[in-house]
Amino acid sequence: MTSILKKFPLNRKQWALMKVLISVSVIIIVILGGLFLDEGRIVTNLTNRNSPPSIDNLFGTDWLGRDMFTRTVMGLTLSIGVGLIGAIGSAFIALILGMAAATMGRTADRIISWLIDLFLSVPHLVTLILIAFTLGGGFKGIVIGLTLTHWPTLARLIRAEVMQIRSADFVQVSQRMGKPRWWIAVHHILPHIVPQFLIGFMLLFPHVILHEAAVTFIGLGLSPHEPAIGIILSESMKYLSSGMWWLAFFPGLCLLMIVRMFDSIGDNLRLLTDPNGNRD
């Protein structure tokens, strides 16, 4: 294997592509595992409770005898699903407002810029908790909260990118030809910001997942009956003093690994889409 790598060395972009493919493959495996794992392993089994990690139970069992490996994989799948919905909604809000600020005139730009500054002045987690609490928590509350709180930074980046594209020669020619703003936005501006939009979305995703887990951890997120990672970590806090370390260690470690994979995908996609990237 080493001789093959020496014979066919990979440049930076090829390494980045390989990392993206590996991360995506692992995430797909986790999602499929969460969908197809036997739910019978998370039913109450008091004869096998509080068991440490073993071959039969890789992550051990909890105080009700439920297999922690199955609960963790299902929890990751649920967190990814909730994070995906929230990130998609937030990213499209950022896209719409960012393009509107840069193309709809000075008044719209001032209003949207003020709104961005307003949301950025308060930490995401605080605003998310307030929205989730106001909406009564649960799936609806956490999804709406995630959607409404994570768009400002991406909106500012899209606005700056659109402002730069707007001064390009082909856009100026279309304006002189009398093309309406919406036509220019759809045919000239939007295709150029799609790569930045996708990268911004992938970099937004890890924050959404972590904030969902944090709000669920304090009881304002998903229902306690769901096998979410935040709920698993919250429940495990009661048993750490009893030496049941595996209840929090493995779910927390897996959550951090998934978040890091999404972060890696975003960073490597940025390298792959950079026309001036180093190919050495």
CATH superfamily of 67-272: MetI-like (1.10.3720.10)
pTM listed for this prediction: 0.81
Each of the 280 residues of the chain gets a pLDDT tens digit; together they read 444 444 546 677 778 888 889 988 988 888 888 888 877 778 888 888 888 888 888 888 888 888 889 889 998 898 888 888 988 999 999 998 888 887 777 888 899 889 988 888 888 788 888 888 888 878 888 889 899 988 888 888 888 888 888 777 777 787 788 777 777 777 778 888 888 888 888 888 888 888 888 888 888 878 777 778 888 888 888 888 888 888 889 999 999 998 888 888 888 887 877 665 554 4
**Helix locations, the chain, DSSP H:** 2-7, 12-36, 68-103, 106-120, 124-134, 138-149, 152-166, 169-176, 181-184, 190-217, 229-236, 246-272
The angle at the Cα of 203, spanning 264 to 187, to the nearest 5 degrees, equals 120
For residue 184, give Cα distances in angstroms to 94, 113, 164, 173. 19, 22, 14, 10
Per the listing, tokens 């999602």 go with 31
The 3-state DSSP class for residue 67 equals strand
Q: How far does CA 34 lie from the centroid of its chain?
A: 17
pLDDT at 8: 47
| Annotated domain spans of the chain | 67-272
What is the rounded distance in angstroms from the CA atom of residue 254 to the CA atom of residue 80?
Answer: 12
Read off φ and ψ for residue 66, nearest 5 degrees. -85, 140
pLDDT at 140: 86
pLDDT at 277: 53
What is the rounded distance in angstroms from the CA atom of residue 219 to the CA atom of residue 189?
Answer: 42
Q: CB 132: neighbour CB atoms within 10 A?
A: 27
What is the rounded distance in angstroms from the CA atom of residue 114 to the CA atom of residue 97?
Answer: 12
pLDDT at 93: 92
Per the listing, tokens 């951090």 go with 256
